[in-house]
Amino acid sequence: MHKYGTFHWEDLSVETMVKTTEQKIIELEAKVKLSEKQNLREEHLVEREDKKAMIFDMLVDMV
């Protein structure tokens, strides 16, 4: 860095930028959508496993 300019690490601010309420709302909406999508996927997997268990029980009952 010294070769190409006068960049000083001391001049950097460590503080993060404050998010506006609109940005916070958009971020929370994205989290809600992701959570809903994950819940739907989990419900689908549970339903599928229940069907597999029912089929397995029917096969056991036949024997």
Band of pLDDT at residue 4, cut at 50, 70 and 90: low
Give dist(CA 28, CA 25) in Å, integer.
5
- Give pLDDT tens digits for 7-27: 666 666 656 788 899 999 999
Residue 11 is predicted with a pLDDT of 64
- Give pLDDT tens digits for 47-61: 999 999 999 999 999
- Give pLDDT tens digits for 30-40: 999 999 999 99
Q: What is the DSSP string of 23-59?
A: HHHHHHHHHHHHHHHHHHHHHHHHHHHHHHHHHHHHH
Q: How far is CA 46 from CA 10, 26, 35, 40, in A?
A: 54, 30, 16, 10
Sign of the alpha-carbon torsion through 52, 58, 60, 63: negative
